[in-house]
Amino acid sequence: MMKLLLLWLCLFQADFLMYPAVISPQDPSLLIGSTLTVNCSVSADSNLKAEDLYWTLNGRRLLVETYRVLGPGTLSVTLSNLNGSQQQSGDNLVCHSKEGGSILAGTCLYVGLPPAKPTNISCWSKNLKDLTCRWAPGTEGETYLHTNYTLKYKLRWYGRDNTCQNYHTAGPYSCHIPKDLALFTPYEIWVEASNRLGVAISEVVMLDIVDVVTTDPPSDVHVSRVGDLEDQLSVRWSAPPALKDFLFQAKYQIQYRVEDSTEWKVVDNVSNQTSCRLAGLRPGTVYFVQVRCNPFGIYGSKKAGIWSSWSNPTAASTPRSGRTQGVCEPKSGEHNNTLRRELKQFFGWMRKHGSSYHCANLSIKMYDQWRVSLQKSHKTRNQVLSGDKS
Ligand SMILES: *[C@@H]1O[C@H](CO)[C@@H](O)[C@H](O)[C@H]1NC(C)=O
Ligand SMILES: *[C@@H]1O[C@H](CO)[C@@H](O)[C@H](O)[C@H]1NC(C)=O
Ligand SMILES: *[C@@H]1O[C@H](CO)[C@@H](O)[C@H](O)[C@H]1NC(C)=O
Ligand SMILES: *[C@@H]1O[C@H](CO)[C@@H](O)[C@H](O)[C@H]1NC(C)=O
Ligand SMILES: *[C@@H]1O[C@H](CO)[C@@H](O)[C@H](O)[C@H]1NC(C)=O
Ligand SMILES: *[C@@H]1O[C@H](CO)[C@@H](O)[C@H](O)[C@H]1NC(C)=O
Ligand SMILES: *[C@@H]1O[C@H](CO)[C@@H](O)[C@H](O)[C@H]1NC(C)=O
Ligand SMILES: *[C@@H]1O[C@H](CO)[C@@H](O)[C@H](O)[C@H]1NC(C)=O
Protein backbone atom coordinates (compact mmCIF):
# COMPACT_ATOMS: atom_id res chain seq x y z
CA MET A 1 0.00 0.00 0.00
CA MET A 2 2.76 2.41 0.95
CA LYS A 3 4.72 1.59 -2.23
CA LEU A 4 1.65 2.42 -4.24
CA LEU A 5 1.27 5.80 -2.63
CA LEU A 6 4.90 6.66 -3.28
CA LEU A 7 4.35 6.13 -6.96
CA TRP A 8 1.53 8.63 -7.13
CA LEU A 9 2.35 11.84 -8.85
CA CYS A 10 1.84 14.68 -6.50
CA LEU A 11 -1.17 16.37 -8.09
CA PHE A 12 -3.35 17.68 -5.33
CA GLN A 13 -3.30 21.35 -6.14
CA ALA A 14 -5.35 21.01 -9.32
CA ASP A 15 -8.59 20.15 -7.56
CA PHE A 16 -8.09 20.76 -3.87
CA LEU A 17 -11.39 22.67 -3.73
CA MET A 18 -13.11 19.31 -3.99
CA TYR A 19 -11.67 18.28 -0.65
CA PRO A 20 -13.58 18.91 2.58
CA ALA A 21 -10.53 20.47 4.28
CA VAL A 22 -7.88 23.04 3.44
CA ILE A 23 -4.14 22.67 3.89
CA SER A 24 -1.89 25.65 4.25
CA PRO A 25 0.62 26.42 3.01
CA GLN A 26 -0.09 24.72 -0.33
CA ASP A 27 2.81 23.21 -2.26
CA PRO A 28 5.69 24.70 -0.29
CA SER A 29 9.28 24.50 -1.61
CA LEU A 30 12.00 24.25 1.00
CA LEU A 31 15.69 23.64 1.41
CA ILE A 32 16.89 20.36 2.82
CA GLY A 33 17.12 20.60 6.63
CA SER A 34 14.26 23.08 6.93
CA THR A 35 11.46 22.86 9.44
CA LEU A 36 7.87 23.24 8.26
CA THR A 37 4.53 23.52 10.01
CA VAL A 38 1.42 22.78 7.98
CA ASN A 39 -2.22 23.32 8.99
CA CYS A 40 -5.18 21.18 8.06
CA SER A 41 -8.51 23.02 8.64
CA VAL A 42 -11.84 21.32 8.17
CA SER A 43 -14.71 23.57 7.16
CA ALA A 44 -16.90 24.98 9.95
CA ASP A 45 -20.04 23.23 8.74
CA SER A 46 -18.31 19.85 8.82
CA ASN A 47 -18.95 17.70 11.88
CA LEU A 48 -15.26 16.72 12.05
CA LYS A 49 -12.98 18.05 14.77
CA ALA A 50 -9.21 18.48 14.97
CA GLU A 51 -9.03 15.35 17.10
CA ASP A 52 -10.53 13.29 14.27
CA LEU A 53 -7.64 14.02 11.93
CA TYR A 54 -4.21 12.51 11.24
CA TRP A 55 -1.33 13.11 8.78
CA THR A 56 0.62 10.93 6.35
CA LEU A 57 3.77 11.74 4.39
CA ASN A 58 4.23 9.59 1.29
CA GLY A 59 1.73 7.16 2.78
CA ARG A 60 3.45 6.82 6.14
CA ARG A 61 1.50 7.94 9.20
CA LEU A 62 3.24 10.77 11.05
CA LEU A 63 3.76 10.59 14.79
CA VAL A 64 1.15 12.17 17.05
CA GLU A 65 3.92 14.02 18.93
CA THR A 66 4.42 16.25 15.90
CA TYR A 67 0.73 17.35 15.85
CA ARG A 68 -0.84 20.41 17.49
CA VAL A 69 -4.47 21.27 17.77
CA LEU A 70 -4.71 24.97 16.82
CA GLY A 71 -8.48 25.34 16.98
CA PRO A 72 -11.66 23.28 16.91
CA GLY A 73 -11.18 22.31 13.27
CA THR A 74 -7.43 22.89 12.72
CA LEU A 75 -4.64 20.35 13.24
CA SER A 76 -1.04 21.24 12.43
CA VAL A 77 1.97 19.00 11.92
CA THR A 78 5.58 20.07 12.23
CA LEU A 79 8.23 18.41 10.10
CA SER A 80 11.77 19.19 11.14
CA ASN A 81 15.11 18.64 9.48
CA LEU A 82 13.46 17.74 6.18
CA ASN A 83 15.16 15.33 3.81
CA GLY A 84 15.26 15.80 0.05
CA SER A 85 12.01 14.84 -1.65
CA GLN A 86 11.73 11.15 -2.43
CA GLN A 87 10.39 11.98 -5.88
CA GLN A 88 11.08 14.99 -8.06
CA SER A 89 7.36 15.60 -8.45
CA GLY A 90 7.17 16.25 -4.70
CA ASP A 91 6.27 14.36 -1.56
CA ASN A 92 2.63 13.71 -0.70
CA LEU A 93 1.55 15.28 2.59
CA VAL A 94 -2.04 14.26 3.30
CA CYS A 95 -4.60 15.09 5.98
CA HIS A 96 -6.95 12.16 6.75
CA SER A 97 -10.07 11.52 8.73
CA LYS A 98 -9.61 8.80 11.35
CA GLU A 99 -13.00 7.49 10.29
CA GLY A 100 -12.11 5.13 7.46
CA GLY A 101 -8.88 7.01 6.76
CA SER A 102 -10.44 9.01 3.96
CA ILE A 103 -8.40 11.82 2.44
CA LEU A 104 -9.61 15.25 3.47
CA ALA A 105 -6.91 17.32 1.77
CA GLY A 106 -3.40 16.97 0.43
CA THR A 107 -0.42 19.01 -0.63
CA CYS A 108 2.87 18.50 -2.39
CA LEU A 109 6.07 19.16 -0.54
CA TYR A 110 9.19 20.08 -2.50
CA VAL A 111 12.38 19.69 -0.50
CA GLY A 112 15.76 19.92 -2.17
CA LEU A 113 18.56 22.19 -3.25
CA PRO A 114 18.83 24.97 -5.80
CA PRO A 115 20.61 23.88 -8.99
CA ALA A 116 24.37 24.21 -9.27
CA LYS A 117 25.99 26.10 -12.12
CA PRO A 118 26.14 23.84 -15.19
CA THR A 119 29.75 23.23 -16.27
CA ASN A 120 31.83 21.66 -19.03
CA ILE A 121 29.83 22.85 -22.01
CA SER A 122 31.20 21.30 -25.17
CA CYS A 123 29.74 21.55 -28.65
CA TRP A 124 30.28 20.00 -32.06
CA SER A 125 28.88 20.52 -35.53
CA LYS A 126 28.32 17.56 -37.83
CA ASN A 127 29.41 18.60 -41.30
CA LEU A 128 28.79 22.32 -40.53
CA LYS A 129 25.06 21.73 -40.68
CA ASP A 130 24.01 21.73 -37.05
CA LEU A 131 25.29 22.15 -33.53
CA THR A 132 25.03 19.80 -30.56
CA CYS A 133 26.10 20.81 -27.09
CA ARG A 134 26.56 18.80 -23.96
CA TRP A 135 27.22 19.92 -20.41
CA ALA A 136 27.56 18.61 -16.89
CA PRO A 137 24.88 19.48 -14.31
CA GLY A 138 27.38 21.00 -11.90
CA THR A 139 29.33 19.70 -9.01
CA GLU A 140 26.64 19.46 -6.34
CA GLY A 141 24.72 16.79 -8.22
CA GLU A 142 21.35 15.74 -6.86
CA THR A 143 18.88 18.53 -6.22
CA TYR A 144 15.93 16.21 -5.41
CA LEU A 145 13.70 18.50 -7.44
CA HIS A 146 12.79 18.64 -11.08
CA THR A 147 15.43 20.86 -12.64
CA ASN A 148 15.06 22.38 -16.08
CA TYR A 149 18.12 23.03 -18.23
CA THR A 150 17.87 25.54 -21.03
CA LEU A 151 20.63 26.00 -23.58
CA LYS A 152 20.74 29.52 -24.94
CA TYR A 153 22.84 30.95 -27.72
CA LYS A 154 23.32 34.17 -29.58
CA LEU A 155 25.60 35.57 -32.18
CA ARG A 156 28.26 37.62 -30.53
CA TRP A 157 28.00 41.42 -30.94
CA TYR A 158 24.55 41.77 -32.49
CA GLY A 159 22.57 38.60 -31.96
CA ARG A 160 19.52 38.15 -29.84
CA ASP A 161 19.02 35.23 -27.48
CA ASN A 162 17.84 31.96 -28.97
CA THR A 163 16.68 28.95 -27.01
CA CYS A 164 17.63 25.47 -28.05
CA GLN A 165 14.57 23.24 -28.44
CA ASN A 166 15.69 19.60 -28.87
CA TYR A 167 17.01 18.22 -25.61
CA HIS A 168 18.45 14.80 -24.68
CA THR A 169 19.72 14.13 -28.22
CA ALA A 170 23.23 13.17 -27.06
CA GLY A 171 22.68 12.08 -23.49
CA PRO A 172 20.72 13.51 -20.57
CA TYR A 173 22.38 16.93 -20.60
CA SER A 174 22.47 17.85 -24.25
CA CYS A 175 20.64 19.85 -26.85
CA HIS A 176 20.63 19.92 -30.63
CA ILE A 177 20.27 23.00 -32.83
CA PRO A 178 19.38 21.60 -36.26
CA LYS A 179 19.67 24.63 -38.54
CA ASP A 180 19.99 28.36 -39.18
CA LEU A 181 23.52 28.60 -37.93
CA ALA A 182 25.95 31.23 -39.13
CA LEU A 183 29.55 30.50 -40.01
CA PHE A 184 32.40 32.95 -39.39
CA THR A 185 30.67 34.72 -36.51
CA PRO A 186 31.31 33.44 -33.03
CA TYR A 187 28.41 32.29 -30.91
CA GLU A 188 27.95 32.81 -27.22
CA ILE A 189 26.48 29.73 -25.62
CA TRP A 190 25.37 29.12 -22.06
CA VAL A 191 23.08 26.90 -20.01
CA GLU A 192 20.50 28.00 -17.45
CA ALA A 193 19.43 25.56 -14.78
CA SER A 194 16.28 26.26 -12.81
CA ASN A 195 14.12 24.56 -10.25
CA ARG A 196 11.68 25.64 -7.55
CA LEU A 197 14.52 26.80 -5.33
CA GLY A 198 16.56 28.86 -7.74
CA VAL A 199 18.34 29.52 -10.98
CA ALA A 200 22.00 28.99 -11.88
CA ILE A 201 23.66 30.13 -15.08
CA SER A 202 26.81 28.60 -16.53
CA GLU A 203 29.80 30.49 -17.82
CA VAL A 204 29.39 31.69 -21.38
CA VAL A 205 31.27 29.64 -23.95
CA MET A 206 32.36 31.34 -27.15
CA LEU A 207 32.81 29.33 -30.30
CA ASP A 208 32.87 29.50 -34.06
CA ILE A 209 31.12 26.66 -35.86
CA VAL A 210 34.07 26.07 -38.22
CA ASP A 211 36.27 25.32 -35.20
CA VAL A 212 34.14 22.46 -33.86
CA VAL A 213 33.44 20.40 -36.95
CA THR A 214 33.18 16.67 -36.96
CA THR A 215 31.91 14.32 -39.63
CA ASP A 216 30.51 10.88 -40.32
CA PRO A 217 32.86 7.92 -40.02
CA PRO A 218 34.08 6.65 -43.40
CA SER A 219 31.32 4.38 -44.70
CA ASP A 220 33.26 2.61 -47.41
CA VAL A 221 36.19 1.00 -45.66
CA HIS A 222 37.73 -1.84 -47.67
CA VAL A 223 40.34 -4.18 -46.31
CA SER A 224 42.17 -6.48 -48.68
CA ARG A 225 45.26 -8.64 -48.91
CA VAL A 226 48.46 -7.33 -50.39
CA GLY A 227 49.18 -10.08 -52.90
CA ASP A 228 50.25 -13.05 -50.84
CA LEU A 229 52.19 -11.01 -48.31
CA GLU A 230 51.15 -12.85 -45.22
CA ASP A 231 51.87 -10.07 -42.69
CA GLN A 232 50.07 -7.25 -44.46
CA LEU A 233 46.62 -5.89 -45.20
CA SER A 234 45.68 -2.88 -47.24
CA VAL A 235 42.94 -0.49 -46.01
CA ARG A 236 41.13 1.93 -48.31
CA TRP A 237 38.33 4.45 -47.69
CA SER A 238 37.16 7.77 -49.05
CA ALA A 239 37.03 11.32 -47.76
CA PRO A 240 33.78 12.39 -46.06
CA PRO A 241 31.35 13.18 -48.88
CA ALA A 242 29.27 15.57 -46.75
CA LEU A 243 32.21 17.98 -46.61
CA LYS A 244 33.10 17.94 -50.28
CA ASP A 245 31.76 21.47 -50.81
CA PHE A 246 33.91 22.92 -48.06
CA LEU A 247 37.53 23.83 -47.95
CA PHE A 248 39.05 21.57 -45.38
CA GLN A 249 41.79 19.10 -44.58
CA ALA A 250 41.28 15.70 -43.10
CA LYS A 251 43.33 13.33 -41.09
CA TYR A 252 42.47 9.76 -40.31
CA GLN A 253 43.12 7.12 -37.73
CA ILE A 254 42.92 3.38 -38.16
CA GLN A 255 42.52 0.87 -35.42
CA TYR A 256 42.69 -2.87 -35.80
CA ARG A 257 42.57 -5.95 -33.67
CA VAL A 258 42.75 -9.69 -34.13
CA GLU A 259 39.47 -11.55 -34.04
CA ASP A 260 39.87 -13.04 -30.57
CA SER A 261 41.18 -9.96 -28.78
CA THR A 262 39.43 -6.86 -27.52
CA GLU A 263 42.56 -4.75 -27.64
CA TRP A 264 42.73 -2.29 -30.51
CA LYS A 265 45.99 -1.10 -31.98
CA VAL A 266 45.83 2.45 -33.28
CA VAL A 267 47.66 3.74 -36.33
CA ASP A 268 47.83 7.35 -35.37
CA ASN A 269 49.49 9.18 -38.19
CA VAL A 270 47.64 8.31 -41.34
CA SER A 271 47.52 12.06 -42.16
CA ASN A 272 45.45 12.93 -45.17
CA GLN A 273 45.79 9.78 -47.25
CA THR A 274 42.76 7.60 -47.89
CA SER A 275 44.62 4.33 -47.85
CA CYS A 276 47.12 2.68 -45.62
CA ARG A 277 48.96 -0.59 -45.43
CA LEU A 278 49.03 -2.44 -42.14
CA ALA A 279 52.22 -4.44 -41.73
CA GLY A 280 53.67 -6.76 -39.12
CA LEU A 281 50.44 -8.72 -38.83
CA ARG A 282 50.07 -12.38 -37.92
CA PRO A 283 49.71 -14.71 -40.92
CA GLY A 284 46.44 -16.56 -41.43
CA THR A 285 44.62 -14.35 -38.94
CA VAL A 286 41.32 -12.48 -39.12
CA TYR A 287 41.65 -8.75 -38.36
CA PHE A 288 38.92 -6.22 -37.64
CA VAL A 289 39.63 -2.74 -38.92
CA GLN A 290 37.96 0.61 -38.20
CA VAL A 291 38.70 4.06 -39.54
CA ARG A 292 37.75 7.51 -38.27
CA CYS A 293 38.11 10.96 -39.70
CA ASN A 294 39.00 14.33 -38.27
CA PRO A 295 38.12 17.22 -40.55
CA PHE A 296 40.11 20.28 -39.59
CA GLY A 297 41.27 23.55 -41.02
CA ILE A 298 37.76 24.26 -42.31
CA TYR A 299 38.08 27.52 -44.25
CA GLY A 300 41.47 27.97 -42.64
CA SER A 301 40.37 27.32 -39.05
CA LYS A 302 43.35 26.86 -36.75
CA LYS A 303 41.51 24.54 -34.35
CA ALA A 304 42.13 20.83 -34.06
CA GLY A 305 38.81 19.49 -35.35
CA ILE A 306 36.83 16.71 -33.70
CA TRP A 307 37.22 13.02 -34.45
CA SER A 308 34.23 11.24 -35.95
CA SER A 309 33.14 8.00 -34.39
CA TRP A 310 34.77 4.83 -35.68
CA SER A 311 33.43 3.16 -38.80
CA ASN A 312 31.74 -0.21 -38.41
CA PRO A 313 34.40 -2.91 -38.20
CA THR A 314 35.47 -4.46 -41.48
CA ALA A 315 37.12 -7.88 -41.36
CA ALA A 316 39.76 -9.55 -43.52
CA SER A 317 42.30 -12.27 -42.99
CA THR A 318 45.98 -12.34 -43.78
CA PRO A 319 47.18 -15.17 -46.03
CA ARG A 320 48.29 -18.34 -44.32
CA SER A 321 52.02 -18.96 -44.25
CA GLY A 322 51.88 -22.62 -45.26
CA ARG A 323 55.23 -22.80 -47.04
CA THR A 324 56.99 -25.68 -45.34
CA GLN A 325 60.51 -26.12 -46.50
CA GLY A 326 61.05 -28.62 -49.31
CA VAL A 327 57.43 -28.73 -50.36
CA CYS A 328 56.69 -27.19 -53.68
CA GLU A 329 53.21 -25.80 -53.54
CA PRO A 330 51.29 -25.46 -56.76
CA LYS A 331 51.53 -21.76 -57.57
CA SER A 332 48.35 -21.09 -59.43
CA GLY A 333 44.80 -21.81 -58.32
CA GLU A 334 44.39 -24.06 -61.34
CA HIS A 335 46.99 -26.49 -60.12
CA ASN A 336 45.44 -26.42 -56.71
CA ASN A 337 42.04 -27.19 -58.23
CA THR A 338 43.53 -30.00 -60.25
CA LEU A 339 44.96 -31.55 -57.15
CA ARG A 340 41.66 -31.26 -55.37
CA ARG A 341 39.77 -32.82 -58.25
CA GLU A 342 42.20 -35.71 -58.40
CA LEU A 343 41.88 -36.35 -54.69
CA LYS A 344 38.12 -36.35 -54.99
CA GLN A 345 38.28 -38.86 -57.78
CA PHE A 346 40.72 -40.96 -55.80
CA PHE A 347 38.40 -41.15 -52.82
CA GLY A 348 35.51 -42.02 -55.10
CA TRP A 349 37.55 -44.82 -56.58
CA MET A 350 38.49 -45.92 -53.07
CA ARG A 351 34.84 -46.27 -52.10
CA LYS A 352 34.15 -48.35 -55.18
CA HIS A 353 37.20 -50.58 -55.14
CA GLY A 354 38.32 -50.50 -51.55
CA SER A 355 35.26 -51.26 -49.46
CA SER A 356 37.34 -53.84 -47.61
CA TYR A 357 40.02 -51.32 -46.72
CA HIS A 358 39.90 -49.06 -43.67
CA CYS A 359 40.97 -45.47 -43.78
CA ALA A 360 43.98 -46.21 -41.66
CA ASN A 361 45.17 -48.51 -44.34
CA LEU A 362 45.35 -45.84 -47.01
CA SER A 363 48.68 -46.31 -48.58
CA ILE A 364 50.77 -45.08 -51.41
CA LYS A 365 50.31 -48.50 -52.85
CA MET A 366 46.64 -47.88 -53.33
CA TYR A 367 47.27 -44.45 -54.76
CA ASP A 368 49.56 -46.03 -57.33
CA GLN A 369 46.91 -48.58 -58.18
CA TRP A 370 44.50 -45.76 -58.78
CA ARG A 371 46.93 -43.88 -61.03
CA VAL A 372 47.31 -46.98 -63.13
CA SER A 373 43.55 -47.37 -63.48
CA LEU A 374 43.30 -43.67 -64.34
CA GLN A 375 45.87 -43.96 -67.10
CA LYS A 376 44.06 -46.94 -68.52
CA SER A 377 40.76 -45.10 -68.68
CA HIS A 378 42.46 -42.05 -70.29
CA LYS A 379 43.86 -44.27 -72.95
CA THR A 380 40.53 -45.88 -73.73
CA ARG A 381 38.78 -42.46 -73.81
CA ASN A 382 41.38 -41.02 -76.14
CA GLN A 383 41.08 -43.99 -78.40
CA VAL A 384 37.31 -43.60 -78.49
CA LEU A 385 37.62 -39.88 -79.23
CA SER A 386 40.12 -40.29 -82.02
CA GLY A 387 38.02 -43.14 -83.39
CA ASP A 388 35.00 -40.76 -83.53
CA LYS A 389 36.98 -38.15 -85.41
CA SER A 390 38.12 -40.37 -88.18
C1 LIG B 1 -1.96 27.77 10.96
O2 LIG B 1 -3.04 28.15 11.82
C3 LIG B 1 -2.67 29.09 12.85
C4 LIG B 1 -3.87 29.29 13.75
O5 LIG B 1 -5.04 29.39 13.03
C6 LIG B 1 -2.27 30.39 12.17
O7 LIG B 1 -1.85 31.32 13.16
C8 LIG B 1 -1.10 30.08 11.23
O9 LIG B 1 -0.76 31.24 10.52
C10 LIG B 1 -1.48 29.00 10.25
N11 LIG B 1 -0.32 28.65 9.49
C12 LIG B 1 -0.37 28.58 8.17
C13 LIG B 1 0.91 28.19 7.50
O14 LIG B 1 -1.37 28.80 7.50
C1 LIG C 1 15.53 11.71 6.82
O2 LIG C 1 16.24 10.54 6.51
C3 LIG C 1 16.75 9.87 7.64
C4 LIG C 1 17.59 8.70 7.16
O5 LIG C 1 17.26 8.36 5.87
C6 LIG C 1 15.60 9.41 8.50
O7 LIG C 1 16.11 8.76 9.65
C8 LIG C 1 14.78 10.60 8.91
O9 LIG C 1 13.65 10.20 9.63
C10 LIG C 1 14.34 11.39 7.72
N11 LIG C 1 13.70 12.63 8.15
C12 LIG C 1 12.50 13.01 7.73
C13 LIG C 1 12.00 14.30 8.24
O14 LIG C 1 11.83 12.33 6.95
C1 LIG D 1 34.65 18.78 -16.47
O2 LIG D 1 35.83 18.69 -17.26
C3 LIG D 1 36.99 18.51 -16.50
C4 LIG D 1 38.18 18.57 -17.42
O5 LIG D 1 37.81 18.45 -18.73
C6 LIG D 1 36.91 17.18 -15.79
O7 LIG D 1 38.06 16.99 -15.01
C8 LIG D 1 35.69 17.19 -14.90
O9 LIG D 1 35.55 15.92 -14.31
C10 LIG D 1 34.46 17.51 -15.67
N11 LIG D 1 33.37 17.66 -14.76
C12 LIG D 1 32.23 17.04 -14.93
C13 LIG D 1 31.20 17.28 -13.89
O14 LIG D 1 31.99 16.32 -15.90
C1 LIG E 1 10.37 23.49 -16.30
O2 LIG E 1 9.89 23.39 -17.61
C3 LIG E 1 8.53 23.01 -17.69
C4 LIG E 1 8.19 22.82 -19.13
O5 LIG E 1 8.96 23.60 -19.96
C6 LIG E 1 7.69 24.10 -17.05
O7 LIG E 1 6.34 23.73 -17.10
C8 LIG E 1 8.12 24.25 -15.60
O9 LIG E 1 7.43 25.32 -15.01
C10 LIG E 1 9.61 24.53 -15.52
N11 LIG E 1 10.02 24.50 -14.13
C12 LIG E 1 10.87 25.34 -13.61
C13 LIG E 1 11.17 25.16 -12.17
O14 LIG E 1 11.39 26.22 -14.27
C1 LIG F 1 53.67 7.43 -36.63
O2 LIG F 1 53.27 6.58 -35.57
C3 LIG F 1 54.24 5.69 -35.15
C4 LIG F 1 53.66 4.84 -34.06
O5 LIG F 1 52.30 4.64 -34.26
C6 LIG F 1 55.45 6.44 -34.66
O7 LIG F 1 56.47 5.52 -34.35
C8 LIG F 1 55.95 7.36 -35.75
O9 LIG F 1 57.00 8.15 -35.26
C10 LIG F 1 54.84 8.27 -36.21
N11 LIG F 1 55.32 9.09 -37.30
C12 LIG F 1 55.01 10.38 -37.40
C13 LIG F 1 55.53 11.07 -38.59
O14 LIG F 1 54.33 10.96 -36.58
C1 LIG G 1 47.81 15.91 -48.23
O2 LIG G 1 48.74 16.79 -47.67
C3 LIG G 1 49.79 17.16 -48.51
C4 LIG G 1 50.77 18.03 -47.74
O5 LIG G 1 50.41 18.18 -46.41
C6 LIG G 1 49.22 17.88 -49.73
O7 LIG G 1 50.28 18.21 -50.60
C8 LIG G 1 48.22 16.99 -50.43
O9 LIG G 1 47.61 17.68 -51.47
C10 LIG G 1 47.16 16.54 -49.45
N11 LIG G 1 46.29 15.58 -50.09
C12 LIG G 1 44.97 15.62 -49.98
C13 LIG G 1 44.23 14.56 -50.69
O14 LIG G 1 44.41 16.47 -49.33
C1 LIG H 1 44.68 -24.59 -52.40
O2 LIG H 1 43.93 -23.40 -52.29
C3 LIG H 1 43.33 -23.18 -51.03
C4 LIG H 1 42.49 -21.92 -51.10
O5 LIG H 1 41.87 -21.81 -52.32
C6 LIG H 1 44.41 -23.04 -49.98
O7 LIG H 1 43.83 -22.85 -48.70
C8 LIG H 1 45.28 -24.28 -50.01
O9 LIG H 1 46.34 -24.10 -49.11
C10 LIG H 1 45.81 -24.58 -51.40
N11 LIG H 1 46.50 -25.85 -51.37
C12 LIG H 1 47.62 -26.05 -51.98
C13 LIG H 1 48.20 -27.42 -51.85
O14 LIG H 1 48.16 -25.16 -52.59
C1 LIG I 1 45.45 -52.93 -42.76
O2 LIG I 1 45.62 -53.91 -43.72
C3 LIG I 1 46.36 -55.07 -43.28
C4 LIG I 1 46.50 -56.01 -44.42
O5 LIG I 1 46.74 -55.34 -45.60
C6 LIG I 1 45.63 -55.69 -42.12
O7 LIG I 1 46.42 -56.77 -41.60
C8 LIG I 1 45.39 -54.64 -41.02
O9 LIG I 1 44.62 -55.23 -39.99
C10 LIG I 1 44.68 -53.48 -41.57
N11 LIG I 1 44.55 -52.47 -40.54
C12 LIG I 1 43.39 -51.90 -40.25
C13 LIG I 1 43.44 -50.84 -39.13
O14 LIG I 1 42.36 -52.15 -40.81
Distance CA 213, CA 240 (A): 12
- Closest ligand 4 atom number to CA of residue 195: 13
- Spatial distance between the Cα atoms of 252 and 269, rounded to a whole number of angstroms: 7
Q: Give CA–CA dist 126/118, Å, rounded.
A: 24
β-strands 286-296, 314-317: how paired? antiparallel
Compute and round to an integer the Cα radius of gyration of the chain: 39
Residue among 251, 268, 270 whose CB has most ligand 5 atoms within 8 A, to mutate? 268
Cα 272 to ligand 6 centre (Å) = 6
Give dist(CA 129, CA 180) in Å, integer.
8
What is residue 322's predicted lDDT score, i.e. its pLDDT? 61
Check the CA dihedral 210-216-219-224 and report its sign.
positive
What letter does residue 50 receive in the DSSP assignment? Answer: G
Q: Are 40 and 75 spatial neighbours (Cβ–Cβ below 8 Å)?
A: yes
Q: How many degrees, rounded to 5, is the angle at CA 204 between CA 203 and CA 205?
A: 115
List of domains in the chain: 2-112 (2.60.40.10), 119-210 (2.60.40.10), 219-317 (2.60.40.10), 347-383 (no CATH)
50 CA distance to ligand 1 middle (Å): 14
pLDDT given at position 135: 96
Please, which residues have CB within 8 angstroms of residue 44's CB and are 6 or more apart in sequence? 73
Q: List the residue whose alpha carbon is closest to atom 9 of ligand 3.
A: 120
Enter the DSSP assignment of 117: P
Own/partner contacts of 162-169, CB < 8 Å, gap of 24 or more, are 164/133, 169/132
Residue nearest to atom 1 of ligand 4 (CA): 148
Nearest C-alpha to atom 6 of ligand 8 is from which residue?
A: 361
Give residue ranges with CB within 6 A of ligand 8: 358, 360-361
Tell which atom from ligand 8 comes closest to the C-alpha of 361: 1
Residue 389: φ, ψ to 5°? -65, -40
Q: With helix as H, strand as E and coil as C, how does 319-344 read?
A: CCCCCCCCCCCCCCHHHHHHHHHHHH
User: Is the minimum distance from the CB of 111 to ligand 2 under 6 angstroms?
Assistant: no
Mutate to test the pocket of ligand 5, among 256, 269, 276, 277 (most ligand atoms within 8 A of CB): 269
Tell which atom from ligand 5 comes closest to the C-alpha of 269. Answer: 1
192 neighbors 135 (Cβ within 8 angstroms): no
Q: Which of 117, 119, 120 to mutate to test the pocket of ligand 3 (most atoms within 8 A of CB)?
A: 120
CA distances from 153 to 35, 171, 207, 217, 239 (A): 40, 19, 10, 28, 31
Task: Give the distance (Å) from ligand 4 centre to CA of residue 346.
Answer: 83
Three-state DSSP class for residue 276: strand
Q: Is the dihedral of CA 328, 330, 336, 339 positive or negative?
A: negative
Sequential pLDDT tens for the chain (390 residues): 343 444 455 655 444 456 688 999 999 999 999 999 999 998 877 788 888 899 999 989 999 999 999 988 899 999 999 999 988 888 999 999 888 888 888 899 999 999 999 999 999 999 999 999 999 998 666 889 999 999 999 998 877 899 999 999 999 999 999 988 888 889 999 999 999 999 999 999 999 998 999 999 998 999 998 888 888 888 999 888 888 777 778 889 999 999 888 899 988 877 778 888 888 888 889 999 999 999 988 888 888 889 999 999 999 998 887 653 333 333 334 445 555 566 566 666 666 665 444 333 445 556 566 666 766 666 665 554 444 433
Of 321, 117, 147, residue with least CA distance to 230: 321
Q: How far is the CA of 197 from the centre of ligand 1 (A)?
A: 23
- At residue 46, the 3 state secondary structure works out as coil
